[in-house]
Amino acid sequence: MAKIRKGGKKSVPAVSTASLPDIIFMLLFFFMVSTSMKEVTYKVDIHNPEATELQSLEKKSLVRYIYVGVPKREFVKHYGSETRIQLDDAFAEVSEIRPYVESERSAMKEEEQGLLTISIKADRETQMGIITDIKQELRKAQALKINYAAVQKMK
């Protein structure tokens, strides 16, 4: 029978930490699965515009991004403070969009080429002129599915 002993030489046993790695690994796997790597490092400042009727982009592998905004402070010296376009990791001109889209498309699987979506991530203060130029360029490149990236408006 259980007896309550007082005194005695017994010390409190240490809490076993043997399962701690398992717990941490579980967390780790959760984050590995649920997150995606940052696509690029932004070289332009982007504050997404706000909207309410948003649709989420489903297949990330079918989406390519065009970033539009004012260069970040460390690049202003070389690239000026005018609105610029960023494709992948570099600044680009409007005329580079078409070859970019075409090469990205040809790198995709053939049955998925028609599903290519271009997401335009532009700063909310961008003037429409450059966006219009991009859109015209995308039309010429036959990339007609586009998406204006925006964030949910808080009511």
Partner 1 sequence: MGKRSVQEINASSMADIAFLLLIFFLVTTTMSVDKGLSRRLPPPMPDKKEQKDVEINERNIYVVLINSKNQVLAQGKYVDVANLREDVKKFIRNEGNDPTLPEVLPLSVEIDGRMEQVMTTTNHLISLQNDRGTEYQKYIEVQNELVAAYNEVRDEYSRQKWGVPYSELTDERQSAVQKIYPQKISEAEPKNYGGKK
In the complex, the residues that contact partner 1 under the rule CB under 8 A are: 17-18, 20-21, 24-25, 27-28, 31-32, 34-38, 49-57, 60, 63, 117, 119, 122-129, 131-132, 135-136, 138-140, 142-152
CA–CA–CA angle 54, 147, 59 (5° rounding): 85
Task: Provide the CA 126 distance to its chain's centre, in angstroms.
Answer: 20
Q: Taking the complex as a whole, how short is the minimal distance between the CB of residue 5 and partner 1, in angstroms?
A: 23
Q: Taking the complex as a whole, how short is the minimal distance between the CB of residue 2 and partner 1, in angstroms?
A: 27
Nearer to partner 1, 105 or 135 (CB): 135
Q: Taking the complex as a whole, how short is the minimal distance between the CB of residue 3 and partner 1, in angstroms?
A: 26
Nearer to partner 1, 78 or 155 (CB): 155
Nearer to partner 1, 76 or 136 (CB): 136
Q: Taking the complex as a whole, how short is the minimal distance between the CB of residue 26 and partner 1, in angstroms?
A: 9
Distance CA 6, CA 147 (A): 72
Distance CA 58, CA 26 (A): 26
Q: Tell me, what DSSP letter sits at residue 7?
A: S
Cβ neighbours around 63 below 10 Å, total: 17
Q: Tell me, what DSSP letter sits at residue 80?
A: -
